[in-house]
Structure 1
Amino acid sequence: MPKNTDTPPASASPEAQRLGRPLSGWRLKAYTIIFEADTRAGRAFDLGLIALVLFSVLVVMLESVAAIDARFGELFNVVEYLLTAIFTLEYLLRLACVRHPWRYARSFYGVVDLLAVLPTYLALLVPELYALVDVRVLRLLRVFRVLKLSAYVAEYAMLAQALRASARKIQVFISVVLMVVVIMGTVMYVVEGPANGFTSIPASIYWAITTMTTVGFGDITPKTDLGRAIASCMMLLGWGVLAVPTGIVTAEMTAARRDRPATTRSCHACLSEGHLPEARFCRDCGAALPPYQRE
């Protein structure tokens, strides 16, 4: 059995060390199921939560359809209260099974978990809000539950890492694009003028942005031959502009996947962590390890 020390083992994940992985008892079992997805129970828990999150968001969407809500409104209310109770219990269990609950409560996923249940309680506890604003504004905040999905898919973490690594490059790219649209918007204001709908430089910059991004609402269009030639160049330039951020993020995701450390596993028998992918037996209790799942 793992030694009962005051600190998590060095092989524990950064999240386990930050939140404080329990050392023994029911809290350790609950932590293994709720926070660790490499066990059979942990995978089942995550899949069940994903299904509940998607179902709850579907209920919110159906409630926004007047004909469906008029027919099944009472059923939707019962389902919503039941789902809120389940998500509340999950949130309380997460706080109870870590040794530093305040750290989890202040984390991104802790805030998301709170937002997943808070709107329903606000609508119950503050009925006066019905007279001030449409109550559906509060109830629609339940779509924050969809953010809970990112806690159960490793690719979300990889995407976030790639976006952080790409932040400076994308900022430089956006600054160049802004300079281009400001210059081209000003040029189009001079070329077309208020008579052709380019009433001001900000309005012309708006046209340049919609043209550069290939959106083209059509509310402002050039009328002169020179203006149409400039617009054609900007449309062609927009194709290349759209591809640049995608290439930057894709390159960073490839680098993150290449540099990602090997996934470690947990023993189902003694719950010790840090076993390498090639390990077949637990180094602490000798039990057979589950097969390594390659990404």
Structure 2
Amino acid sequence: MQTLNKNFDVIIIGGGPIGIACALEAQKKNLTYLIIEKGCLVNSLYNYPTNMTFFSTSEKLELDGIPFISSNPKPGKREALEYYRRIATSNDINIHLFEKVNEVKTENANSHKVFTTKGEYTAANIIVATGFYDIPNYLGISGEDLPKVSHYYNDPHYYATQKTLVVGASNSAVDAALEIYRKGGDVTMIVRQAEIGQRVKYWVRPDIVNRIEEGSIKAYFHSNLKEIRENQVVIDTPEGEDVLENDFVLLLTGYRPNFGFLQNMGISLSDDGKKIPSYNEDTMETNVPGIYLAGVICGGVETHKWFIENSRIHAKMIMEHISKREKASA
């Protein structure tokens, strides 16, 4: 839905599940609001791998008590897209898609200006629900910009019969390695630690461990990717340097929030390396009055701490605080 209005009680930056949850709560409180999303609806989810299965069960992904019916207890990407799309359309959510927020300027505690690729808006309150999936953790090595390199994985068919290097040991890396192997790819994994990550989905971890132990998927532990060449990769291993023939490289080493965007708004970040934004845990309001955080953005670089299941509550907390303040100033 598009609106000609330029002034709102709340502007929500990010049209993912948590942004939608904030919009539903704003409707309940009779607050005027607008979601601004730089991509499609639930953009990060849309860009997840084709065959991705959620760690959470469907009821843990529900918004506002709206039932999420899936064919399996743990839904897949397509089912989630359908669920959140239907919520947005059936509730007539006020959202601008494919519109990027470039800057937010605070005039005072009750007035913020939002500058986007398509216009300017003002709002008494801002909610940042932008997630973390847009900025990869780059390795900064030679060859990382070659065409055969990607920081995102979509579908295994693309890598069939190809020598594919997967860097990482989290859920995304493990899923990619297993799927590509099962589509006929020649898969090698590079893992910095001594083993596959313990946070890998519990029903998947035994599978990848067994495939590595039997030799179906090769793995270098305690190792790092040193260089990417046109037809090779160079690996640092405990036994020394190794050079492998290679067709494709998937650098699935995680992602991070846009910290510069937060800092430009005046939001403080912790200086302990975790870069956790400053916010009130009871209200989700940051150190900048009238600017709130919701969802995974609250965790700084610790992107595994917040997800849909445990951050849905942020929407109610924020809107309750905004509503009380609006009533107090009326």
- For the superposition of Structure 1 and Structure 2, which TM-score range results when normalised by the shorter chain? under 0.3
TM-score by length of 1: 0.23
1 or 2, which has the higher strand percentage? 2
Structure of larger gyration radius: 1
TM-score by length of 2: 0.21
With a CA cutoff of 8 Å and minimum separation of 6, indicate the structure with the bigger relative contact order.
2
